[in-house]
């Protein structure tokens, strides 16, 4: 299997994965995941008179889609959190406007902290590492002592639990 993977890794990386991701580090991770999946699922490959490349290519494309989906979810949560925290007030604004903006920031931060505090520790840690500290998926997985795939599932569940705790309206008792 190794000679086949070594033969097809460069075209997978250069023509399938990297152009769709644009980031070399992420593309290398996806290539590794693609090859690992191919080794794990080689018993599912059925010979159709072609090379193994189309099968490997489809695995790679699916892995790229997974990265895009995870990235989109992370960006949406980060954007939502950023919208909850008002931007810094114009330094030329009145002292009253500055004070009101600071109070609003404090309230929003407290609401975010409350929602995070309501999560279990693994969920809080996953959100902290990936969305606040912006560490790579691999580094987050390493710190949590899980595989990257397990971390992706953990982060997805953490974000979903955060949304449920955070709710749509402050003070909403439902």
Six-digit token string for 57: 């290519």
> Which residues of the chain fall below pLDDT 50?
86, 89, 168-174
* Confidence (pLDDT) at 103: 75
Domain 72-166: assigned CATH number = 1.10.10.10
pLDDT at residue 28 in the model: 92
Locate tokens 């695995």: which residue? 59
pTM: 0.45
User: For 152-168, how does the pLDDT look when each residue is reduced to its tens digit (9 = 90+)?
Assistant: 888 889 888 888 887 74
The H-assigned helical ranges of 41-171 are 53-84, 95-117, 121-127, 137-144, 148-166
* Second CATH level (architecture) for the domain 2-70: Orthogonal Bundle (1.10)
pLDDT tens sequence across 105-122: 777 778 888 888 889 999
What are the sequence ranges of the domains in the chain?
2-70, 72-166
Residue 104 has a pLDDT of 74
Are 157 and 168 in contact, with CB atoms under 8 Å apart?
no
- Closest residue by Cα to residue 152 from 133, 162, 137: 137
pLDDT at 173: 42
What integer pLDDT is reported at residue 170 of this predicted model? 44
The three-state secondary structure class of 32 is helix
| Matching fold, domains 2-70 and 72-166 | no
Give the number of other CB atoms < 10 A from CB of residue 12.
24
């Amino acid at each position: 299997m190794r000679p086949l993977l070594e033969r097809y890794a460069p075209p997978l990386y250069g023509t399938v994965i990297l152009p769709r991701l644009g980031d070399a580090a992420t593309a290398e991770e996806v290539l590794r995941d693609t090859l690992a999946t191919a080794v794990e699922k080689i018993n599912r490959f059925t010979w159709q008179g072609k090379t193994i490349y189309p099968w490997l290519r489809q695995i790679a494309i699916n892995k790229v889609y997974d990265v895009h989906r995870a990235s989109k979810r992370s960006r949406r949560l980060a954007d939502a959190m950023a919208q909850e925290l008002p931007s810094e007030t114009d330094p030329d604004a009145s002292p009253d406007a500055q004070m009101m903006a600071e109070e609003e920031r404090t309230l929003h931060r407290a609401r975010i902290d409350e929602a995070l505090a309501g999560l279990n520790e693994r969920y809080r840690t996953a959100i902290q590492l990936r969305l606040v500290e912006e560490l790579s998926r691999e580094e987050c997985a390493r710190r949590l002592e899980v595989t990257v795939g397990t971390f992706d599932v953990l982060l997805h569940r953490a974000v979903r639990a955060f949304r449920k705790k955070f709710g749509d309206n402050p003070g909403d008792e439902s």
